[in-house]
Homo-oligomer: A and B are copies of this chain.
Amino acid sequence: MRESELLEHIYRRSEGLAGASPDLVVGPGDDCAVLRQPGGGLLLLTVDQLLGGVHYKPGTPVDRVARKAVARSVSDIAAMGGEPRWALATAMLPKDYPEADELFDRMAYWASRWGCPLIGGDIGSGPGELLLTVTIGGEAHPDRGPVLRSGAKPGDRLFVSGSLGGSLQSEHHLLFEPRVALGTKLCDTLGRDLHAMIDLSDGLGRDGARLAKASGVRLVIDAERIPRRDGVTSWRNAAGDGEDYELLVAIAPGREAPEGLIEIGEAAEGSPRCEIVDSGEKIDAGEMGWDH
């Protein structure tokens, strides 16, 4: 079974969840779950896994493994415009893994660096590759609230926060800076005109289609305008390589293009999909990118 099919099953199953949990604002299917806190404010919750040999190559320095494990979850908080507050980590260590102390020290370092100190976790060892999980709790922007995937409207302008493609070759996937500061700034300056965001972990094509589907809009992206990382020669790589951890942002028309964003297209009426237009040809980009 592909991950996407299983996720569909889980999302369908979760549709009745809101009724059962009066504090639940957003359930499975967005970058974070969102819960109303007893005393006010909204808690953002996300968890991601990092598996040796899949999410990084053998021989990757421990510090970079630790960094990526934390950064992936921080990026989910950024995609909602929130700020990370605390982290929990688990590690299933390979037998006779000599770098466990360093791994936890570096995870703790990066978690603190991004504002979410590592306050607990669980450790075991098993026969397989190193598998880390990082759970992060964050706080939604106090005025704007959480920025969902589902808020884009026809006419919105579409932006990305940086160059795409070639993440594995360039080691960007080990070294990226999660876009927390940018997400907060967009909330501060745009407020309710900041309609929707998602972080690009599986590629612009696939994640764009997720935003399109959640919002019920068609994304129309100009292939020529997709910013490419140095060395990326085709827009297909920029839209399909994945692991960019940049934000895709939908903003109400009529606003100045905010600093730090690159405009790539717009949202339109029509059946929800992510369409990339290359020399007049419309390509459905929803199947590009990772399904991992």
Question: Is B86 a contact of A45 with CB atoms below 8 Å?
Answer: yes
Extra 7 A-B pairs, beta carbons < 8 Å, given A23-B86, A38-B139, A122-B133: A1-B100, A6-B100, A14-B108, A24-B117, A39-B39, A47-B122, A131-B131
Cα–Cα, bound, A117→B14 (Å):
10
Least distance between A51 CB and chain B CB atoms (Å):
5
Least distance between A292 CB and chain B CB atoms (Å):
6
- Assembly of this chain: how many copies? 2
Interface-located stretch among A90-98, A167-175, A185-193, A265-273: A90-98
Least distance between A119 CB and chain B CB atoms (Å):
4
Interface-located stretch among A28-36, A228-236, A239-247: A28-36
Question: Is A20 a contact of B112 with CB atoms below 8 Å?
Answer: yes
Contact of A21 among B1, B51, B119, B131 (CB under 8 A): B119
Question: Is B39 a contact of A133 with CB atoms below 8 Å?
Answer: no
Interface residues of A (CB under 8 A from B): 1, 3, 6-7, 9-10, 13-14, 17, 20-21, 23-24, 27-28, 32-33, 35, 37-41, 45-49, 51, 53-54, 85-86, 88-90, 92, 97-98, 100-101, 104-105, 108, 112, 117-129, 131, 133, 135, 137, 139, 292
Least distance between A135 CB and chain B CB atoms (Å):
5
Which 6 interchain pairs have the tightest Cβ spacing? A39-B39, A128-B128, A33-B120, A33-B119, A39-B40, A135-B135
Question: Is B292 a contact of A124 with CB atoms below 8 Å?
Answer: yes
Question: Is A1 a contact of B88 with CB atoms below 8 Å?
Answer: no
Question: Is B49 a contact of A122 with CB atoms below 8 Å?
Answer: yes
Question: Is B1 a contact of A48 with CB atoms below 8 Å?
Answer: no
